[in-house]
Structure 1
Amino acid sequence: MTLNQLLDEGTERLSKAGVEEAALDARYLLLEAFHTDLTHFLIERNRELKAESQESVREFYRMLELRSARIPLQQITGSREFMGLNFFVNEHVLIPRQDTETLAEQVLMDYKGKYPRVLDLCTGSGCIAISLAKLGGFRSVVASDISAEALKVAQHNGEAILGKDKITFLLSDLFNAFRTDERFDVIVSNPPYIPTEVIRKLQPEVRDHEPMLALDGKEDGLYFYRRLAEESSKYLNPGGTVYFEIGYDQKEAVSKLLAEAGFTKIRSWCDAAWFDRVVSGVYEK
């Protein structure tokens, strides 16, 4: 058997299981199982596999079985790239999306050469907080989440990418665990924002295998934005700014919530697909 034949077999199995990008996922799993890259695969793909490759073959079949069960590719490989950095992920955290890079990129642009005190709420894997600390050189970053298991993942990523004790991690339901005198210059959040009823219609990879805690925005998807709009101003320095990731159809609703809570200079940005993805506001009082 050759690598090419293995890849064809894997693609067929994933396709029958209903995996949308069967060929691409099969290739990722093959490269992972054989600890190789695309260049070496292209060179070796038509050569007969050696006996010592059998362990890698078994690993490939094991991962195919998991992917056929619609377990997300990133949970199988245990990694996801975000902002050019490699993050460990598992079933306890939302898999970082490219859409979320829109938020991180805008904060980095707005605070280039500055050193704000940053708070990342609903941090999950820590991808936003860690990217800001690493790429922006922000020296004071706090990351919190309501999930203790998610915080373990975020702390692991923080130590792997930044080193130990570079970010403060805090178990908290939004602001509940914070002192009343704590203040930040920037508050960022990618909160749960999918309406409960919509979740059951999502792909099995998301609906069945990503944490409901990170997806469910309650009845209308705006539950956490209401809380964030109402509570964020108490923890901002004068002129502080909030940046929230939003669903593609939530710009007007979230902007209104911020305006009603006293925020001004409300702005929004689209992601690479031109969907509304980030809303920000400044609290000047």
Structure 2
Amino acid sequence: MDRAVNENSPSPDRTSNTASEPWTVRRILDWTTAHLEKHGSDSPRLDTEVLLAHARNCERIRLYTNYEDVVTEQERALMRQLVQRRANSEPVAYLVGNREFFGLDFYVDKNVLVPRPDTETLVIELVDEAQKLTNPSILDLCTGSGCIAVSAAANCHNAKFLATDISKPALEIAQKNATSNGLSNQIQFLLSDCFDQIPAGTLFDIIVSNPPYIPDAEIEQLENDVKQHEPRLALSGGKDGLDFYRRIIQQAGGYLKDNGLLMLEFSPEQETDLQTLFKATGKYTDVRVKADLAGRARVIIGQKLPILK
């Protein structure tokens, strides 16, 4: 790239003895990787590949099959903008407008959290349980980008979903992702703060959620790309991070069928507190925890006790 990314960034022309060398794919990959590493990216090469592929409108593999191609001025101009924003900690997914999750493509922007690989553990457990049922009804609370409901629907064609969120922009993004993945016929969407707008008497086989769970005092300790760019509404779990869990665990019993399942993602250090919350209600049995691929506690599942008649 033939000029500095911003006024404070070192120009490649000043840091290289080959200033007259064309800006090929290879040269841009190498320079930008070093630049993003210096600015704190924990995956500078991957970030660079994703951004350059986006700027060139090609698949990442094409960067290496066309390694010595000279990048056009239009592509370099877009790349400079993207790199400057990434150097300011803006998430790559927001810069390119999408994130892959569970083998599907999701549109994301500043109104929703970027889907994380950890959440795939929750989807795996949800799909496993849903596939045991005939025409299951599933409620996804705090749906955000819709990644949980959409991914599960793609793997449970006989299931029907209701996905809720308190944020209208987030709900619109979830609807967009359901449509783009061809699953809008399986998923309904409702603007609601948890259960508030769900009609009384509506019962589900499974309720699932990845609610906000960061303690408020810890938000400022998060990485810059999270605390500066991702929506605080989707992060803040109250003083101890458990506000949403208390509400959901207490209220879910009124919306679950007998023997229905409540499935929640959580941060590993919250395991003991969540076990206590489930047991304290007296409404659940067979409370169990599932680990993610790294072996950390990630998903808690409780089965609603049948109501004695």
TM-score by length of structure 1 reads: 0.96
- 2:286 aligned residue (240, 265, 270): 265
Shift of 1:166: 2.9
1:98 maps to what in 2? 117
Q: Does 1:29 align with 2:48?
A: no
Q: Does 1:110 align with 2:129?
A: yes
Matched ranges for 1:148-159 at <5 A: 148-159=168-179
2:33 maps to what in 1? 11
Pairs aligned (count):
282
Matched ranges for 1:131-142 at <5 A: 131-142=151-162
- 2:150 aligned residue (105, 130, 134): 130
Q: Which sections of structure 1, spanning at least 5 residues, go unmatched? A: none
Q: Does 1:83 align with 2:125?
A: no
Alignment check: 8 A CA contact 2:145 2:177 kept: yes
Alignment check: 8 A CA contact 1:130 1:162 kept: no
2:224 maps to what in 1? 204
Q: Deviation digits for residues 97-141 of structure 1, max 9, x if unmatched?
A: 110010110111122252210000000000001111111114310
Distance in 2 of aligned mates of 1:100 and 1:38: 24
Q: Does 1:56 align with 2:78?
A: no
Distance 1:43 1:93, change over 3 A: same
TM-score by length of structure 2 reads: 0.88
Matched residue SS, 1:175:
coil
Q: Deviation digits for residues 241-265 of structure 1, max 9, x if unmatched?
A: 0000011111111121111112111
Q: Deviation digits for residues 148-190 of structure 1, max 9, x if unmatched?
A: 0100100000111124443110000100001111110100000
Distance 1:149 1:251, change over 3 A: same
Shift of 1:239: 0.8
Q: CA RMSD in A?
A: 1.2
Distance in 2 of aligned mates of 1:111 and 1:17: 44
Code of the residue aligned with 2:103 in structure 1: it is: G
Distance in 2 of aligned mates of 1:39 and 1:209: 29
Sequence identity (%): 36
Distance in 2 of aligned mates of 1:107 and 1:39: 33
Distance in 1 of aligned mates of 2:158 and 2:271: 28
Distance in 2 of aligned mates of 1:210 and 1:84: 23
Alignment check: 8 A CA contact 2:165 2:190 kept: yes
Code of the residue aligned with 1:66 in structure 2: it is: R
**Higher deviation after alignment, 21-30 or 90-99:** 21-30
Alignment check: 8 A CA contact 1:191 1:224 kept: yes
1:219 maps to what in 2? 239
Q: Which sections of structure 2, spanning at least 5 residues, go unmatched? A: 1-22
Q: Deviation digits for residues 70-103 of structure 1, max 9, x if unmatched?
A: 0001010111111111110000001111100101
Distance in 2 of aligned mates of 1:105 and 1:207: 28
2:64 maps to what in 1? 42
Code of the residue aligned with 1:87 in structure 2: it is: F
Alignment check: 8 A CA contact 2:150 2:183 kept: no
Code of the residue aligned with 2:254 in structure 1: it is: K
Code of the residue aligned with 2:240 in structure 1: it is: D
Post-superposition, which runs of at least 4 consecutive aligned residues in structure 1 deviate over 4 A? Answer: none
Distance in 2 of aligned mates of 1:78 and 1:157: 12
1:282 maps to what in 2? 303
2:6 maps to what in 1? none
Shift of 1:62: 1.1
Alignment check: 8 A CA contact 1:239 1:284 kept: yes
